[in-house]
Amino acid sequence: MSANAGGILASFDYLDDTLGAIRQLRDGGHTDLTVYAPLPEHHIEEALGYKQGPVRTWTLVGGLTGTATGLAFTTWTAMDWPLVVGGKPILSIPAFVIIMFEMTILFGALATVIGLFINARIPNPRPLVIYDPEYSGGRFGIYAPAAGGSLDDARKILESHNPVELREDTEGAHA
Amino acid sequence: MTDGIKRRDFLKVLGVSGAGASMAGCSTDDVEKLLPYVVPPEEITPGVATWYTSVCGECAAGCGVWVKTREGRAIKVEGNPNHPVSAGALCARGHSAMQGLYDPDRFAGPMLRENGILRPISWDEAETMLTERIQGAGGRVLAITGKTGPTFGELFDNFLSGVGGSRVEYEALSEAPLREATRIAFGRNVAPTYEFAEARMVLSFGADFLESWISPVEHTRGFARMTSTDEYGSKGTFVFLGSRLGLTGANADEWFPIAPGSEAAVALAMANVIARSGGRDAGPYREVLQAYTPESVAAASGLDAESIEELARRFADAAPAVAVGPGYAGHHANATAANLAVLILNHVAGNVGRTVHLRAEDRAAPVAPFTDLQSALGRMSGGDVQVAMVHGANPAYSLPGEANFASAFGQVPFKVSFASTPDETSALADLILPDAHFLEAWGDSNPREGVYSIQQPVMERVPHFDSKQTGDVLLSVAARLGQSLGGATFYEYMRSEIGQIYSDRGLGSDFDTFWRETLKDGVFILPNAGDEQEMLRSPDAALSFDAPGFTGEDREFFLQVLPNSRLADGRHANKPWLQELPDPVSKMTWHSWVEVNRHVAEEMGLETGDMVRVSSPHGAVEVPVYSYPGIREDTVALAMGGGRAGSGRFAVQAAKGSVNVMSLLPAQTEQPSGALVLQSTRVSVEPTGRRYKVATIEGTDQQHDRGIAPAMTLAALTHADDDHAEDDHGEGGHGKLQELQAIGGFVPVETEGRAEDFPLPGAQYGDYDPESNARWAMAIDLDKCTGCSACVTACQSENNVAWTGESQVAMGRDLGWIRLERYYETVDATHAGPVDVRHLPMLCQHCGNAPCEPVCPVYAAYHTPDGLNGQVYNRCVGTRYCANNCPYKVRVYNWYTYQGEEPAFEGLGHAPEPLNWAFNPDVTVRTNGIMEKCSFCVHRIREVEHRAALEDRRIFDGEVVAACQQSCPAEAIVFGNIRDPESRVAQVAQNQRTYRVLNELINTQPAVHYLQKVVLHEVEAGGH
Amino acid sequence: MATATDKHRGSLTHPDVGTYKQVNDEVLKVLSKPGKGWWALLALALAGVGLFFTSWAIQIVKGIGVSGLTSPVGWGVYITTFVFWVGIAHSGTLISAILFLFRAPWRQSVYRMAEAMTVFAVMTAGLFPLIHVGRVWHAYWLIPYPNSRYLWPNFRSPLVWDVFAVTTYFTVSAVFFYLGTIPDTAAARDRATGWRKTFYKVAAMGWRGTDREWHHFGKAYIYLAALATPLVLSVHSVVSWDFAMGIVPGWHATVFAPYFVAGAIFSGVAMVITLAVPIRKIFGWENYLTVKHFDALSKLILLTSLIVLYAYLTEFFMAWYSGEPPERQMFWNRLFGDYWWATWTMLVCNGIVPVLLWFKRVRHSISALFVITIFINIGMWFERFVIIVTSLSHEYAPFAWGVYRPSFVEMGIMVGSFAWFGFWFLLFTRLLPAVAIAELKEVLPLPYRPQAQEGGAD
């Protein structure tokens, strides 16, 4: 896709500029925008029109798997070599519930993390080229890729929201 | 051969005939022929035990024993059921013979002391040296021995008369006063034998006949039969008259705390009452009786006339009854008179010949009393002795300091000791000729006329020690002296002696068969010749029946010197099993203590563990106090056997905290018997302000309303069941109850927790099939149990239970699988009245719903299909959760490795070569970090199961015998399969006295059933 | 993780804190070369760690006997300290997860410290089960693995529940903690130099702060919090069942689970304050850890202390009301027996001292809070000691009653465990931002263009 490689990266000091730029870009039909923020900011998510994500499914499936594993494991090991202790039944379900519970939490939590990594694409080994250290400090950034719409148009819109910096990216090294 | 016991006999026959085969040349030079590997193959089937009969040599009682050997090593001593004295039981001291045999401190061989240092020499050199010295002694040869076997004593005397010497027999614990009294009264120099079982009432004038006096095992058996309650609710009474309750007194129903020295007066006053009211005629003692009326002795004894009168009448009515005593501890300056008075009482009450048996004089020469020894001491210090030989006695330790034995002995130019382990006397000797242990040597015993047992070697001499039985030494020395005493070895000598009796008594013509049979049975019994009715004879010696004088009159306490119920006179001090066996009374181990009345202690601001200085005019010792309700306020008691710093490593260890009470005594002689006076002085007790960390296993002596050891009144027992149901409600009786059963506790069922309730509805024990399996269970009759603690040591020997050392016990880390609990209910020294001390052997209860099992994370504790509470040592990780959760606290933990060659720290339990030879190969030896507990002798159960399987039959009831049960002299323990309604344990479990500890509180469904003690006095509701 | 609604913005931090950049600078400045003081503390901690492992080594070589443990008291200082640390571990996830779900805006400044504390506390607690078993070389037998005989652990044993609960708790807390740090390590990465840069580069996993990352991150964080919350409650319940499942008088009580959870939060929050006070001082974070935060935390302490006190009283009442001699005797023994001093220390520190927190002046005096929380930490250690030791020393069988005295080895390990914890915490303060940078920004005023401020977000 060398035809429309690269993109344009704009940095902003103020949230309202950023939000304005985002909205205008999206109105202008630009897609695949990447917005950098130093904090989780729901205004940005709203502006980008995010909906409920898929991570919760991971959590649910992981948790249920844990429950099932816990039940199956305790039951099987108890039956595998039935040993009586304290006159209690071989299948002491109340005791096994605790194991099941812990397994639910454990599997659920690990599944959630995996879900996060896959969806958020981290760990992300690619070099930080289209990036500004200030994004983790006080600045916001918007990256409009060529693939998402005409760069000239994007530049005009971004400039109109007085960015502190505007950077062309030719190689398209961005994630 | 379907019965296991028979089979065991069969093995013994083989064993014995095997031994017989090698007997021909059974002298020490080729004793190797006794090595089990040259006897028939059955002998050495690996893993199969071989049993030999012998005689216990730990005390003078002469219990017949069976010794269990495995692959040629003796591993356990058990009572010989064929023997009239032991009848299958044995005491703790008997069991500990193993630790005497394998005592790591035994002399490695003959030793010669040269300028203070012992150097090993050969037996040949040694014997030559002894021979020359005796030749040079010109008849000035002296031998000091303890009580010997009859034949050996005879041999020794023959030997000495051959060389013109003489022998003195000395025992600190001597029956001389009793023998002398019997001689005076009936013309027989014997100790009577007492049939407690026949009596309906027992009076003890201070005699501790259950722990130390004459023949404890036999007495305990008889006493238990006397005192236990039969179906018809009749029960013998035991009244104790004395200043201090020992193990014996603690088992009394009533206690008359009479003043020390007043036994004779009280006995005569009672005899007087009985004689006046139609008792037998006192003959020559009529006048004496006149002088002693209840009124006249009331003041001296501290008892009011009425109670004496009343007691006398009860004693007469109860006939046959028996009066015994005073015991060793009561050996005051008028001991013979006191013994005589008691004999008179027995005579007047018509007990002689019924419960008190006089026998013809036995072959065992009466122990010559202290007077002889004193004159011997005189001869020694006078330089009149050239060669002194000491055998089986330790006068340097066991004589009062004032006897100055050491200096007198020091005057002898050549001193020979036959001690097999170092002791205070051998430390003074020039030549040491270590005697063989009684389990390695031949000998015989004649505890009383008519009872003859052969003591045969059960194994080759322990190879670590080049010992030689003294009999053989004497014979070989005699040979070197050119004398022939008959027989080249002691074995031959003894065999011919027995042959002599055989022919004299006209027992038959085939001596060889007789001999083999005797070895097989371990005993042969002849009809008692001399038990006809005796008339009293008039005294031929001056006697005073009044209280004797005491030295140190100005001091406030009488001193009672106790024969130590574990260490006797100290001879067992190097046996850690006994050192760590809790004393039946104080429950203390290892160290000494002085018993002080609890009120007095409080007044003096003393409590258990406070160090006090006990001083008599003759010496002083510092010991911790045991605050004891069971002793008169004007008396303190100290046990013998401490402070054996001159003995082996374990005794030395114990000596750090123990004292030799003999140092408090004067060298006083009782007349006319000439025995050493033990109760001779008064002492003062001063606090030192220091404390001693007492090594006791006791948490508290009160039950705190737990109903651990409840009791029933005889009334409640004989009443209709509905009464007694109320009586023991709430103390583990049979009130119907709703119990949550094993199905996860979801299904409540009604049960009485009785035998027939097994398996409890709902308690299917998971997948186990209740029909197909046994449910091993035990029943312990607390009405019989005396608390003697024989079971504790038996268990220790059977199950390789480690000893841990004083510091550990003081921390609470003793490992006993059986904890003999002792609770004081009614004990009051201030006036005569009922006494109620409860003893309860607490062992793993093998609960059906065991709290210890489910908490173990690794299944080390689990339930076996036959109802045992299994403990898998190898699986144990050591979380100790099971012990925390055990309501009976019977799980013990290996805090260190207590059975290694080396202790983890100085003074901690360990098993150095060859002590570890005593381990039972059928039981795992535990190491650091492992939980252990009573296994119901599971290895014995499995052995019987395998045998039954091989012989394709079911297991007979009573075929499986737990070690504690086997050893119990009181016959208090029953073991078996409670699922079999016919089994004895199932029957006993249905007795109306049966209860299970804590079961109604926490529904553990224990397999151990206890039968409540029955008391004659009223107990508060609930029995505690 | 948009927790703070706009009305909170700026209300919880000092007015001096204006821009996002300032937060980065002030928080990240401490991630630099430590001073002498820090090194001194580290040396002290390492000495303690040495003591810890030396004592343990002695015990392993000689045997568990070097402890003062005995029959009947098979559990003592080790289990006491175990429960103590597990308890400490609770406030972290509580503050982090539960307050997060409840949208409590004041958590931002303290939760990072609390979570770190949780992780290190569990790392400490986790060692004690190993220390206290008699054969530590076989401790792995508690873990289910297919051994040669296919004998699995006994899942009816509360100790096995412990293994599962504690390992789960450690894993989840560690993950939760680590995820939270990612945006901040990214921030650190963007400013650090030298080896630290490499370190943060790896730690940040290439975090850029893009919209996608923030979006999924936020969701995942909520679900983790939702899972962690019941986990917190379950873990200390399971720990309490180590005792409640036993039949020991003084242990066998249904109140134990809530009682222990409350106690855990009580001690944990107290420990947070104990740690936050000096950090606030040393790092000069008065602007971030304001009196408002401490006030909120002390109210939490006050609440839990009331619950704990109520539990104490309930126990005594039930013992009396049950009428069972063993129960009654045991609780009597607690108050007046061999260990009366421990019991009264517990009652005073946990029941009486927190009463001071009713007063606003006390809640607002940082130094007072510091002292009070130290008392609470002591009191909570003794609470566990009392529950374990007094109960075991006077159980059903009176003849087997006994007394337990801790040995030097036990004390060495107990003290050493604090050093072990401190060691990790010291490293934490210098390697990771002890205050959550990104989340702190959420409570700052949004950066709107000055003149456009009225317009806000159009």
pLDDT of residue B674: 86
Mean pLDDT of B272-293: 89
Mutate to test the interface with C, among A136, A142, A160, A174 (most CBs of C within 10 A): A136
- If we measure between CA atoms, which residue out of B85, B82, B74, B35 comes closest to residue B52? B74
Top-confidence residue, C98 or B658: B658
Sign of CA dihedral C396, C401, C405, C410: negative
Residue A1 DSSP label: -
- Looking at this protein, which amino acid is placed at residue B439? L
Peptide bond into C72 cis (omega under 30): yes
Name the token pair of B859: 């299944």
Among A92-106, B411-425, B533-547, C64-78, the range scoring the smallest mean pLDDT is B533-547
How close is the nearest chain C Cα to the Cα of A129, in Å?
A: 11
Mean pLDDT of B575-593: 95
- C167 contact B CB<8A: no
Backbone angles phi, psi at C202, to 5 degrees: -65, -45
Contact criterion met (CB < 8 Å) for C206 and A74: no
- If we measure between CA atoms, which residue out of B208, B150, B341, B175 comes closest to residue B673? B175
**CA distance linking residue B325 with residue B338, whole number of Å:** 8
Mutate to test the interface with C, among A122, A124, A174 (most CBs of C within 10 A): A122
> Considering only CB atoms, which chain C residues are within 8 Å of B705?
325
Name the token pair of B856: 């173990």
Mean pLDDT of B658-664: 94
Top-confidence residue, B398 or B233: B398
Q: What percent of chain A has pLDDT over 70?
A: 95
pLDDT of residue C453: 45
Among B725-734, B841-850, C25-34, C136-145, the range scoring the smallest mean pLDDT is B725-734
**CA distance linking residue B100 with residue A67, whole number of Å:** 63
**CA distance linking residue B39 with residue B20, whole number of Å:** 10
Name the token pair of C75: 């559990």
Mutate to test the interface with A, among C155, C162, C169 (most CBs of A within 10 A): C155
> Considering only CB atoms, which chain B residues are within 8 Å of A86?
849-854, 863
Longest Cα–Cα distance in chain B? 91
Binned at pLDDT 50, 70 and 90, residue B1001 comes out as: confident
How close is the nearest chain B Cα to the Cα of A86, in Å?
A: 4
- B862 contact A CB<8A: yes
pLDDT of residue B911: 94
Rg for chain C (alpha carbons), in Å?
A: 23
> Considering only CB atoms, which chain B residues are within 8 Å of C402?
699, 812
- Looking at this protein, which amino acid is placed at residue B721? D
- Looking at this protein, which amino acid is placed at residue C232? V
Contact criterion met (CB < 8 Å) for C397 and B812: no
Binned at pLDDT 50, 70 and 90, residue B447 comes out as: confident
Top-confidence residue, A87 or B497: B497
Closest Cβ opposite residue B766 in set A90, A93, A94: A90
Mutate to test the interface with A, among B764, B872, B875 (most CBs of A within 10 A): B764
Q: Given a cut of 60, is residue B753 above it in pLDDT?
A: no
Mutate to test the interface with B, among C60, C70, C399 (most CBs of B within 10 A): C399
pLDDT of residue B130: 95
> Considering only CB atoms, which chain A residues are within 8 Å of B763?
87
Name the token pair of B778: 């035990």
Angle between helices C194-204 and C158-191 (to 10 degrees): 130
Going residue by residue through chain C, which has 458 residues, state the pLDDT in tens, using 9 for 90 and above: 444 445 556 566 666 677 788 888 888 888 888 888 899 999 999 999 999 999 999 999 999 999 999 989 999 999 999 999 999 998 888 888 888 888 777 787 888 888 999 999 999 999 999 999 999 999 999 999 888 888 999 999 999 999 999 999 999 999 999 999 999 999 999 888 889 899 999 999 989 888 889 999 989 999 999 999 999 999 999 999 999 999 999 999 999 999 999 999 999 999 989 998 998 888 888 888 888 889 989 999 999 999 999 999 999 999 999 888 999 999 999 999 999 999 999 999 999 999 999 999 999 999 999 999 999 999 999 999 999 999 999 999 999 999 999 999 999 999 999 999 999 999 998 899 888 888 888 878 888 887 644 444 43
Segment 380-399 of chain C within 8 Å of chain B by CB = 392, 395-399
Residue B675 DSSP label: P
pLDDT per position as a tens digit, A75-113: 999 888 888 888 788 888 899 999 999 999 999 999 999
Binned at pLDDT 50, 70 and 90, residue B252 comes out as: very high
**CA distance linking residue B824 with residue B244, whole number of Å:** 14
Mean pLDDT of A49-56: 84
Residue B69 pairs in a beta bridge with B50, B74
Name the token pair of B603: 């007044």
Q: Is B996 exposed, middle or buried (0-12, 13-18, 19+ CB in 10 A)?
A: buried
pLDDT per position as a tens digit, B771-787: 556 889 999 999 999 99
Closest Cβ opposite residue C71 in set B700, B823, B883: B883
pLDDT of residue C299: 92
Q: Given a cut of 70, is residue B769 above it in pLDDT?
A: no
Longest Cα–Cα distance in chain A? 81
pLDDT of residue B761: 55
pLDDT of residue B368: 62
Contact criterion met (CB < 8 Å) for A35 and C211: yes
- C168 contact A CB<8A: yes
Closest Cβ opposite residue C65 in set B880, B889, B895: B895
Residues 6+ apart with CB under 8 A from B121: B109, B110, B111, B112, B129
Q: Given a cut of 90, is residue B740 above it in pLDDT?
A: no
Relative to beta strand B117-120, strand B111-114 is antiparallel
Residue C389 DSSP label: I
Contact criterion met (CB < 8 Å) for B766 and A94: no
Q: Which chains are within 8 Å of B by 3+ CB pairs?
A: A, C
Element (H, E) at C60: helix C36-62
**CA distance linking residue B198 with residue B821, whole number of Å:** 29
Residue B388 DSSP label: E
Mean pLDDT of B948-971: 92
Contact criterion met (CB < 8 Å) for C68 and B811: yes
- B1007 contact A CB<8A: no
Contact criterion met (CB < 8 Å) for C187 and A81: no
Contact criterion met (CB < 8 Å) for A50 and C231: no
pLDDT of residue C60: 94
Residues B718-756: b if buried by 16+ CB within 10 A, e if exposed: beeeeebbebbebbbbbeeeebebbbbbeeebebebbbe
**CA distance linking residue B855 with residue B255, whole number of Å:** 47
- B851 contact A CB<8A: yes
Q: Given a cut of 50, is residue B1 above it in pLDDT?
A: no
Contact criterion met (CB < 8 Å) for A124 and C206: yes
How close is the nearest chain C Cα to the Cα of A1, in Å?
A: 23
Contact criterion met (CB < 8 Å) for B896 and C324: no
pLDDT of residue B770: 56
Q: Given a cut of 50, is residue B38 above it in pLDDT?
A: no
> Considering only CB atoms, which chain A residues are within 8 Å of B741?
87
If phi > 0 it is left, if psi is from -120 to 50 it is alpha, else beta; for residue B863 that is beta
Q: What percent of chain A has pLDDT over 90?
A: 29
Q: Given a cut of 90, is residue B746 above it in pLDDT?
A: no
Mean pLDDT of B807-827: 94
Do the beta carbons of residue B81 and residue B522 sit within 8 Å? no
Do the beta carbons of residue C247 and residue B885 sit within 8 Å? yes
Complex ipTM: 0.91
Strand order in the sheet with B994-995: B973-977, B776-781, B1008-1011, B994-995
If phi > 0 it is left, if psi is from -120 to 50 it is alpha, else beta; for residue B47 that is left
